[in-house]
Amino acid sequence: MTASPPHKVPIPRHGVDYRGKIVLAPMVRSETIDKALIGTTRHFNAVTGTVDFTRLSSNGAKNPAINSEQRESVIYRLHPSREGKRLIYQIGTANPETAVQAAKLVAQDVAGIDVNAGCPKPFSTSGGMGAALLKTPDKLCVILRALVSEVGIPNEIGISVKIRILDTPDETEKLVRNLCATGITGLTVHCRTTPMRPRERAIRDQLKMVANVCREAGVACLMNGDVISRDEALNLVSEFGCDGAMIATAAETNPSVFRPTAEGGMAPWEEVVKEYVKTSLEVENRWGNTKYLLGQMIPGKNNTYKKMQLTKSYSELVNALGYDDGSQALARRVDKGLEIGEYEKAKMTKAERKATNKAAKKVEEVETTPQREPLTKTAAGIKRSAEMAQLDMPPDIARKSGPASVPEQVSTLGV
């Protein structure tokens, strides 16, 4: 008698099936916290070909009418033609309501939403996000169910989660079973406990169990931790019965780790760096992020590394790297757009920022405080209008929407 094929959770029409794939792992610099995204406005950037979610920078006055030079900060950026519908938006969250609000903004531009329940850094855990969610599994399940029902199903994209193993197999198994019951399409397990750091070898003794639990539920299971190449990833997937794997640190050092040996394998770092700089210029990548990753790609003992570290702009970078392929003109244009290098504007001092914000607050108070009606005296005392009564409401009732509120004009339409 022929065995029936294993059960699989249906993959949404616009989603991605993780099975058989070697994936770039999300890392802290590529994650966006839900509250940071909420309140942004979606723009299509015709110069870079990207979709940008932006908000006014907090560096300066809070009232743009006072500081007309206040810049919009790019909170999240994606490239439709380069990334297509293969991009998964990883979200940092500790609350189902804000998770849904943020995910709805990007849902039609991505192939899925992945909840970060594995980052061990205080940046995430101090707010109850990342690996802290492993200590509140009920909350994590509520977040996933909310995303599945309110974002995944309406937009026909997948919802997934990335976790770490717990101290014992029984604890991990219970967690994974509960997560698989929320309606997710994929689960990635980083084979380290929360206190472990990258220098400590990954622990894979729970991996087969996690893969089996996911398979029973029909959820795709990816492994992560100490995977250094595509070929090694495929071997580990076969050995432990997973559906796919993620590569993290090794991909930061050399993104060509995803190329099979049969197709040439990893490219020399010089080739990778040149392609990365070219791409960064074309999409006007944030200078700090570009320089950070170049610090991972260029060998620290190489003289090029020292030259790169001294640069403060793209123009200086292409000179330091000795590129003479016409990239200098583009580098200057990008420097000007990002206001770095010779185009960097003088930053406001703390005293100047304080004075500017104080002036902005006064203007806002004048603009938003209505003139009160004259008081009418009666035999019973002072008679107040309904408007006056409302103005006298306690601040916690009458307050305006906070900075994390979603403006009505925010667009969630895809390109």
Catalytic positions are: 119
Q: Which residues pair with 190 in a beta bridge?
A: 164, 224
Q: Identify whether the C-beta of residue 185 lies closer than 8 Å to the C-beta of residue 221.
A: no
Element (H, E) at 192: none
Determine the Cα–Cα distance for residues 202 and 232; give it in Å rounded to an integer: 14
Nearest to 19 by CA among 29, 31, 11: 11
Sheet with 158-164, strands from edge to edge, namely 22-24, 244-247, 220-224, 186-190, 158-164, 112-117, 88-92, 32-33
The set of residues, in sequence order, having a beta carbon less than 8 Å from that of 188 and lying 6+ positions away, is: 25, 114, 118, 160, 161, 162, 163, 221, 222, 223, 224, 246
Determine the Cα–Cα distance for residues 388 and 356; give it in Å rounded to an integer: 31
- Number of Cβ within 10 Å of residue 283's Cβ equals 17
**Which pair of tokens denotes residue 111?**
């192939």
The set of residues, in sequence order, having a beta carbon less than 8 Å from that of 183 and lying 6+ positions away, is: 9, 144, 145, 148, 149, 152, 159
Q: Which residues pair with 247 in a beta bridge?
A: 24
Q: Report the amino acid identity of residue 132.
A: A
Per DSSP, the three-state class of 201 is coil
- C-alpha neighbours within 13 Å on the C-beta side of residue 108: 8
Nearest to 31 by CA among 90, 79, 84: 90
Determine the Cα–Cα distance for residues 162 and 116; give it in Å rounded to an integer: 6
Element (H, E) at 246: strand 244-247
Q: Which residues pair with 22 in a beta bridge?
A: 245
**Which pair of tokens denotes residue 232?**
């090694």
Nearest 5°: the CA angle 46, 35, 24 is: 65
